[in-house]
Amino acid sequence: MAVTGWHRPTWVEIDCAAIQANIQNEQAHLPDDVALFAVVKADAYGHGMLEVAKTAKKAGAKGFCVAILDEALALREAGFDDFILVMGAVPQSFARLAAEKQIALTVFDLDWLTGLELLPVNLDVHVKVDTGMGRLGLRSMEAVREIEAEIVKREDVTLDGIFTHFATADQLETSYFEKQLACFREVVASMVTRPTWVHCANSATALLHDQVDFDAVRFGISMYGLTPSPEIIPVLPFELRPALSWYTEMVQVKELFPGDCVSYGATYEANEREWVATLPVGYADGFIRAYSGFEVSVDGVLMPVIGRVCMDQCIIKLPHKYSVGTKVTLIGSPNSADVAARHLNTINYEVTCLISERVPKKYI
Ligand X SMILES: *Cc1c(COP(=O)(O)O)cnc(C)c1O
For residues 178 and 184, what is the distance between their CA atoms, to the nearest angstrom?
Answer: 10
Laid out side by side, the sheet with 252-256 consists of 252-256, 274-279, 314-318, 301-306, 295-298, 327-331, 244-249, 10-14, 361-363
Query: Is 222:203 a contact under the CB 8 Å cutoff?
Result: yes
Nearest to 285 by CA among 342, 224, 364, 353: 353
Minimum distance from residue 311 beta carbon to ligand X (Å): 29
> Which CB atom, from 27 or from 202, has the smaller least distance to ligand X?
202
> Which CB atom, from 36 or from 359, has the smaller least distance to ligand X?
36
Nearest to 283 by CA among 363, 224, 359: 359
For the question of residue 45 being annotated catalytic, the response is no
Residues at the site binding ligand X, with contacts judged by CB under 6 A: 39, 41, 87, 165, 202-204, 218-221, 228
Catalytic residue among 264, 321, 327, 362: 264
> Which CB atom, from 47 or from 308, has the smaller least distance to ligand X?
47
Instruction: Check residue 300 and give left, alpha or beta (phi > 0: left; psi -120 to 50: alpha).
Output: left
Minimum distance from residue 108 beta carbon to ligand X (Å): 11
> Which CB atom, from 165 or from 308, has the smaller least distance to ligand X?
165
> Which CB atom, from 201 or from 305, has the smaller least distance to ligand X?
201
Minimum distance from residue 358 beta carbon to ligand X (Å): 24
Q: Which amino acid is at 111?
A: D
DSSP string, 143-201: HHHHHHHHHHH-SSEEEEEEEE--SSTTSS--HHHHHHHHHHHHHHHT-SS--SEEEEE
Query: Is 62:35 a contact under the CB 8 Å cutoff?
Result: yes
> Which CB atom, from 39 or from 314, has the smaller least distance to ligand X?
39
Q: Which amino acid is at 39?
A: V
Minimum distance from residue 43 beta carbon to ligand X (Å): 13
**According to the annotation, is 303 in a ligand binding site?**
no
For the question of residue 264 being annotated catalytic, the response is yes
For residues 27 and 21, what is the distance between their CA atoms, to the nearest angstrom?
Answer: 10
Q: C-alpha angle 334/339/342, rounded to 5°?
A: 170
Minimum distance from residue 285 beta carbon to ligand X (Å): 23
Helix axes 69-77, 49-59, angle to 10 degrees: 70
DSSP string, 212-280: TT-SEEEE-GGGGT--S-GGGGGG-SS-----EEEEEE-SEEEEE-TT-EESGGG-EE-SS-EEEEEES
Minimum distance from residue 192 beta carbon to ligand X (Å): 24
For residues 218 and 227, what is the distance between their CA atoms, to the nearest angstrom?
Answer: 15
Nearest residue relative to ligand X (C-beta): 220
**According to the annotation, is 135 in a ligand binding site?**
yes
Binding positions are 135, 311
Q: Which residues are marked as active site?
A: 41, 264
Binding positions for substrate are 135, 311
